[in-house]
């Protein structure tokens, strides 16, 4: 329930999530509230979207955002870091619940604090501008480039897996092909926004087709097993799928293999070491659930966002958890268990072993389409994040400029009535990104993301980048949710059209905080790189602030100022 229920004249369910309540002044938000301009909201611009979406559309959009390539790519990384398949499925549930509690808490923050850009405006509001900058910097320099690198690696790995090769991810040729994939997708995004949006619809259809095919294959193997009374009949016909799922206990310890050939004997590990492995496994699951934090972005198009967004989150996340459980159960049915841990493209490997190379190639094409769609969408988002940071003067202004590759239709110049108004946060007549037209792409920002991603591909690996990505994201998700708890104490009267029970943010803060700390201790190299990125970001931030302030005025003894 909201702390201060809205009046009958202003139903909180109808009010935009990312706008000031009742056109209220900052004082209406509490003693330490900030204005819309300070929080990063353009108070002079009219709404960008029509509010014509309902709860059902919101439900479908949340599912589409969250279900991506992770369910096809991260099961191997999870299986390597757990002692049993049963515990791997538990990790998938824990990751889903963590995403669910995080999404619910961000919905609370979104109903209370104006601003767009993920967790950045919330951290800026709660802890100050430096935290907001550091969140934006981490996403631009670390999280999004690492995401693009992971997807590029998986794209190439899917092709290799269709050919029966699952142990070449560290080869230079594999890395160079991954960089080439990244370049092609980046160029596609540079062509223009319309090209990206047209391709995206096709990729979404491929995504759901692939999940349905994996689950159907698992069900078919179980049906054949039940019909035969075992994996093969009396005539000695070949077994279908793996045999471990019905011949071995699901929760018993077994030795697991990594793609590099190393093995983990779980009976020789202590509890603290096992927790380290489990935290690494959880990062793999969280990668698959990534996107839950972007659910609040659709609020601008909901007719009653304060009611519909929580409803969409609280129905979509359980459905997603069930889908991921079904798909991963199918993998353990389709494959011998010692194979699951050695591949980063488990879906392609499973279909190839079940139906042969021809169907494996078909599966690889389908998974490649899914991964390409995720690459395209994340490259699109990465560019826009850099543009937003440049508009706040947190990055050089060159990254806010847009342009085109290739021919395009000439567009009519905007009339005075449609010219974007001044942006009070920038003190400029209009963002520079507006000069390129409605189909312009932020080429400089996309190239920045591509260059950083290429470095991560060349010097990292799929599983190391998963942990690095998780450390970067969840450090700030933890701070944002911790901030929501701080606000409940510091500003109890802050208007919150949606307010989940306090146990929801508490569970997220406790689990995510532990996962970040234990993950950093378990993967010190990734943690050191992330801390270096933060240090570089803070140096950049304070240097730019000092340069923007100009020379310091100092009083001399005779009254002159120098």
SS3 170: coil
The answer to which of 293-302, 304-313, 328-337 has the lowest mean pLDDT is 293-302
Q: What is the DSSP letter of 50?
A: -
Q: Give me the pLDDT at residue 309, please.
A: 81
- To which H or E segment does residue 264 belong? strand 263-264
Query: Is the predicted pLDDT of residue 195 greater than 70, yes or no?
Result: no
Q: Give me the pLDDT at residue 22, please.
A: 33
The answer to which of 198-207, 232-241, 275-284, 530-539 has the lowest mean pLDDT is 232-241
Residue 438 buriedness (CB in 10 A; 0-12 / 13-18 / 19+): exposed
For residues 118 and 238, give the distance between their C-alpha atoms in angstroms, rounded to a whole number: 52
| Dihedral over Cα of 128, 378, 295, 79: its sign | negative
Give the chain's mean pLDDT. Answer: 77
Which of 128, 114, 120 is CA-nearest to residue 386? 120
Q: Does domain 69-406+436-549 have CATH number 2.40.30.10?
A: no
For 403, phi then psi, to 5°, come to -170, -170
pLDDT tens, position by position, 476-506: 999 999 999 999 999 999 988 889 999 999 9
Q: What is the pTM (predicted TM-score) of this model?
A: 0.75
- Percent of the chain at pLDDT exceeding 90: 31
pLDDT tens, position by position, 159-172: 887 776 766 767 88
Q: Give me the pLDDT at residue 532, please.
A: 96
Which of 340, 245, 260, 266 is CA-nearest to residue 82? 266
Spatial CB neighbours of 401, under 8 Å, sequence gap ≥ 6: 432, 433, 435, 436, 442, 443, 444
For residues 141 and 462, give the distance between their C-alpha atoms in angstroms, rounded to a whole number: 18
For 237, phi then psi, to 5°, come to -60, 150
For residues 313 and 11, give the distance between their C-alpha atoms in angstroms, rounded to a whole number: 21
Q: Give me the pLDDT at residue 83, please.
A: 94
DSSP string for residues in 421-485: PPBTTTTBSS-GGGGG-TT-B-HHHHHHHHHHHHHHHHH--HHHHHHHHHHHHHHHHHHHHHHHH
For residues 402 and 67, give the distance between their C-alpha atoms in angstroms, rounded to a whole number: 30
- Which two three-digit tokens encode residue 37? 């301009």
Q: Give me the pLDDT at residue 430, please.
A: 36
Give the Å distances, CA to CA, from 101 to 96, 260, 476: 9, 35, 15
DSSP string for residues in 348-372: HHHHHHHH-HHHHHHHHHHHHHHHH
Q: Of 291 and 23, which is predicted with more confidence? A: 291
- Percent of the chain at pLDDT exceeding 70: 74
pLDDT tens, position by position, 417-458: 444 333 333 333 334 334 444 456 788 888 899 999 999 999
SS3 257: strand
Spatial CB neighbours of 316, under 8 Å, sequence gap ≥ 6: 59, 62, 63, 66, 295
| Dihedral over Cα of 250, 256, 258, 261: its sign | negative
For residues 366 and 507, give the distance between their C-alpha atoms in angstroms, rounded to a whole number: 37
Which of 242, 426, 303, 293 is CA-nearest to residue 55? 303
- Which two three-digit tokens encode residue 10? 């202003």
The answer to which of 307-311, 369-373, 422-426 has the lowest mean pLDDT is 422-426
Residue 257 buriedness (CB in 10 A; 0-12 / 13-18 / 19+): middle
């Amino acid at each position: 329930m909201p702390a201060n229920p809205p009046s009958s004249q202003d139903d909180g369910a109808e009010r935009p999530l990312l706008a000031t309540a009742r056109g209220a002044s900052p004082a209406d938000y509490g003693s330490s509230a900030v204005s819309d301009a300070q929080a990063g909201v353009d108070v002079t611009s009219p709404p960008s979207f029509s509010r014509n979406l309902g709860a059902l559309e919101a439900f479908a959009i949340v599912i589409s955002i969250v279900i991506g390539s992770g369910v096809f790519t991260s099961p191997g990384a999870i299986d390597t870091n757990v002692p049993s398949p049963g515990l791997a499925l538990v990790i998938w549930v824990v990751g889903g619940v963590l995403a669910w509690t995080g999404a619910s808490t961000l919905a609370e923050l979104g109903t209370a604090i104006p601003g767009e850009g993920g967790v950045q405006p919330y951290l800026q509001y709660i802890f100050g501008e430096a935290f907001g900058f550091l969140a934006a910097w981490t996403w631009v320099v670390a999280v999004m480039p690492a995401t693009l690198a992971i997807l590029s690696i998986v794209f190439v790995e899917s092709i290799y897996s269709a050919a029966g090769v699952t142990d070449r991810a560290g080869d230079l040729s594999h890395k160079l092909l991954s960089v080439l994939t990244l370049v092609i997708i980046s160029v596609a995004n540079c062509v223009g926004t319309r090209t990206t949006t047209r391709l995206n619809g096709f990729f979404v259809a491929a995504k759901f087709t692939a999940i349905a095919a994996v689950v159907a294959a698992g069900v078919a193997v179980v049906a054949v097993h039940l019909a035969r009374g075992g994996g093969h009949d009396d005539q000695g016909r070949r077994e279908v799928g793996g045999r471990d799922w019905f011949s071995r206990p699901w929760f018993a310890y077994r030795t697991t293999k990594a793609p590099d050939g190393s093995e983990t004997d779980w009976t020789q590990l202590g509890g603290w070491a096992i927790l380290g492995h489990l935290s690494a496994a959880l990062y793999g699951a969280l990668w698959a659930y990534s996107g839950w934090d972007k659910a609040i972005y659709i609020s601008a198009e909901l007719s009653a966002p304060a009611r519909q967004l929580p409803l969409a989150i609280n129905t979509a996340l359980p459905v997603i958890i069930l889908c991921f459980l079904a798909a991963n159960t199918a993998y353990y049915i389709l494959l011998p268990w010692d194979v699951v841990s050695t591949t980063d493209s488990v879906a392609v490997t499973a279909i190839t072993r079940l139906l042969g190379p021809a169907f494996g190639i078909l599966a690889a094409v389908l998974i490649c389409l899914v991964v390409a769609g995720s690459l395209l969408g994340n490259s699109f988002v990465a560019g826009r994040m850099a543009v937003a940071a440049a508009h706040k003067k947190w990055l050089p202004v060159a990254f806010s400029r847009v342009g085109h590759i290739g021919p395009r239709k000439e567009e009519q110049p905007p009339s005075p009535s449609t010219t974007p108004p001044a942006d009070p946060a920038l003190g400029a007549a209009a963002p520079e990104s507006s000069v390129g037209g409605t189909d312009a792409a932020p080429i400089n920002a996309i190239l920045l993301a591509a260059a950083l991603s290429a470095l991560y591909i060349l010097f990292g690996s799929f599983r190391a980048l998963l942990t690095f990505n998780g450390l970067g994201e969840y450090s700030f998700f933890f701070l944002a949710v911790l901030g929501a708890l701080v606000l409940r104490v510091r500003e109890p009267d802050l208007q919150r059209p949606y307010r989940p029970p306090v146990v929801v943010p508490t569970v997220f803060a406790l689990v995510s905080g532990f996962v970040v700390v234990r993950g950093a201790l378990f993967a010190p190299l990734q943690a050191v790189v992330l801390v270096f990125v933060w240090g570089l970001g803070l140096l950049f931030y304070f240097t730019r602030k000092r340069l923007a302030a100009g020379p310091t005025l100092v009083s001399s003894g005779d009254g002159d100022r120098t």
